[in-house]
Structure 1
Amino acid sequence: MSIEPSEQSPGAEIAVQQLNLSYSQEQDRLLLKVGLSDQTEILLWLTQRVARMIWQLLSAESHLPATVVSQASSANIAPQQAVQQFKQEVKAVETLQKLDFETAYQPRKEALQAGGTLIKEVQLLQADASTHLNTQALEMQSVDGVNLRLNLTSETVVAICNMLQLSTKEAGWTLSASASATASIAITSTDQKQVLH
């Protein structure tokens, strides 16, 4: 499973070109590969605990149908809220339909940390003037003290949540009660392709 954002923005220093999330049975961990525009990659090992943390931070924002089923059934929601929730789900499904699941992740020539680094903490940073962020970001701290920040778009949030659902299903892990119902999306071609694989 990988995601490849559309063209790198002009003037950007080093940009994320692809993300790949897979389960390693030998490690009993998920491996997140981040392919960068300078032809390097970062390898991040995610434990089940960290995968759940990422899921808890991002799943409500993804608005994928599988992530809101339990929320809708466990609470009495007003008709206006139900309509808004449905519109958000439709938008999330449309976002997934723009993603291409067929192009494989392209390994880079060099990994910044050979063998990867184990992530121990994750937090979601909101865009605001006090943090000087223009967009939401997922900040990850490794056991060896390295901090990594992944800027998030709505497409990236949807893609990460979808990849988490698929990878944790393969691992036999549960993220939450709603993780058992994975999204099934038909992929279509678009002009601005993002790649999930």
Structure 2
Amino acid sequence: MFGEDFQELRLVVWEEEVTKLVHMNFLASKQTMFAKLPKVMALHFSRSIYLQNGMTLKNPCRVLFPEKIDLTQYTTTGYLATMPSEPLSSPPSPSSSLSSPILSPFADIDGAQPDGIHYRLKAIIAHIGDHKLGHFVTYRRQEGQDSWWRLSDESIEEVKLSKVLEQEAYMLFYERENI
């Protein structure tokens, strides 16, 4: 049904009892953008695998996550393009930002654009064990400092950031900076 390069689509159109083959060339893309981001962003990773026989397993895939994230490129900036050749959203140029009545939802009251939309990792919840038996552990950055703490039912201990970044994350909590 599809051409070799997946760009040709053949649709069968029924019109007055006559079947016509219509050829269409298309390019498609999908882009998800954030219009307004929260102060705290929580990301949940489903670590369950459901097998056809009804069994469930823990997904052992390693999720790599950074300490800092810049989400600027994933946000709308008050400008949405509808031209197929243009990106859905792009930062306003210096000349257009002064004349455009549309301001970014991230702009200050005076209309100043931020340098970026940055988040910093504040806590993670990790799962130790398998799908049936396991234990959740929290790693939390101490407020106003760079030190990290591992909190479990049995103990609380200070850990290094490198230890936090190698955990099997179940949930990540990022806090927005510079707001």
Decide: shared fold, TM above 0.5: no
State the structure with bigger RCO (CA 8 A, min sep 6), 1 or 2. Answer: 1
Higher alpha-carbon Rg: 2
Name the structure where helix makes up a greater proportion of residues.
1
TM-score normalised over the length of structure 2: 0.20
